[in-house]
Structure 1
Amino acid sequence: MALSYTLREGLAGFRRAKLAAATSVVALAIALVLIGLFVLLGWQGQQVAELLRQRASEVEIFLDDDATAEASARVGDRLRSVAGVDSVRYVSHEEAAEIFREAFGEEADLYDDAQFLPASYRVRLGGDAASPDSLEAFAEVVAGWTAVDDVAYDRASVEAVERNVRTFSSVGLAVALLVVLAALLLVGNTVRLSIYARRMLIRTMKLVGATNAFIRRPFLIEGVIQGLAAGVVAGIVLWGLYGLFLRFIRSADASRAVVDWPGGTPLLAVAALIVLGLVLGFIASSVAVRRFIRQVSLS
């Protein structure tokens, strides 16, 4: 009986204040779309940052000119056994000379013989090992190995990538928190207006012995319904907007990196947005109801 009453009154409250409820749903849906876009773009930014970090964290290990083939091979084996190393590629004298000619074009002809370039290993590190401090520690250790002449890497680029990632993450988090706060206030204000419009009914219910918990439940259902409706609307809009963004990115010649939905399907993002709408609707209505029902006086 109590459950059926709660559901019936929650739906009835949603129907009574159609304009206020519709306004709240639209506003919350906009907030959820913004949150979803920030999260998805932030996720894409993390993927791009990881690619840039991997490229910037390439370490080139130059071998001694008189290093034997066996000594060079041992260096390669030791590098592959180091934790955090994603890839190891050997660059011979001949390949280094070819890379030199491609990089400098006609100016490379100034050198009669580019075989002065030493053989080397190009190592890419990933995860925590790609941080500036870890790269420096790795370079210092490898520089002391037998048959290793020098170790070089672009520390400035690695630090720039790390700095930009931190800035992007901080700004995105701050904006997302502001949007969430605005969404909570919108739903809470709508529920508060609904409580105020029915304050005489609430007073009557209190007079006949209804508990605050019994009175609260229909308003909580109303907030959850608003959150559910906003989540569904936001999920559909986000699906379309982010789908257009992905098509645009994939059509650009310069963007051949992996660009997709998290998990490879839009259903996860849409479902997460619907759940977030439900949670925000429940939290906002719960806070508003607990505060304003107590203010309804029996006198």
Structure 2
Amino acid sequence: MSLEVTVVGQEAAAEVLAVVRAAFAARPVLDPPADALSETEASIAALLAPGGGLLARLDGRTVGAVVLDPDGDALYLRRFGVDPGAQGRGIARALVRAALAEAAQREGLRRLVILARQELPLTVQFWRDMGFAGTARRPPYVEMARPVPHTVEVPTADAMRALGEHLASVVQAGDLLVLSGELGAGKTTFTQGLGAGLGVRGGITSPTFVIARVHPSLADGPSLVHVDAYRLGGAAELDDLDLDTDLDDAVTVVEWGSGLAEGLADAWLEVRIGRATGGTVAADVIDPEADPRVVELDPVGVRWLGVDLLAP
């Protein structure tokens, strides 16, 4: 199975319309009915004019579509649909991820917004699962939004520490940061910078052998809770950690926490660290200066809407 998502313009109006008609016709009858069912090729072309759209093709067949509608700092997802015959294959999720990536490349966009029918709880839950949170009610719709991720090139270990130290000026008590990346990618180096910026006590090292450490603030700021979830068997074990602090009063960093730690909070900041080159070194002699990193900062939840992570 080959799934490809591409950016398209008005020239793809007929393909987008075909997906919209198939997807919306298969939905339950609503009152008032969905406006999408009255679309024409001309009206879809007009919708595509400002910001284009995305088409998903499965083995060459068009099976998913969304119109991208920029409005101020928001990118609205309009006429989002997947052909009923292709559902259950991750196409909707792929469209959302592609929309996030596209928004991240366009200047000035800080949030993705969708208007979901409140009578369709499974649809609303899908958007929640994709990191969207309700921001307003516009009957018969609920407006849901999520922040746009940022990508930062980090050429050295010092730059990784500096990124962590900068984010210390953005985070606050109760925030959760979920770190991911291969062994030696720089997760602990990032946390060292965060701890320095927060002004906490104690040297920050990898917590692998103790699973979690609490670093109290040396000033009036929040403590730093540093957790390594690598050896944990699941989210339940993470939730059962006997931490000598209230997470609402601390900034919590969980290394190797993707897929485990998100249940600790309603909002979190994903910090995904990847190598910018393909070079590798032995696991026990990893050189943090061996090659540059690319860090994706992916904020999830209402807490991060309107927060400029990279503001000086």
More strand by share: 2
Provide TM-score, normalisation by structure 1.
0.21
| Structure label with greater radius of gyration | 1
Q: Give the TM-score taking structure 2 as reference length.
A: 0.21
Larger helix share, 1 or 2: 1
Q: Which has the higher contact order (CA 8 A, sep 6+)?
A: 1
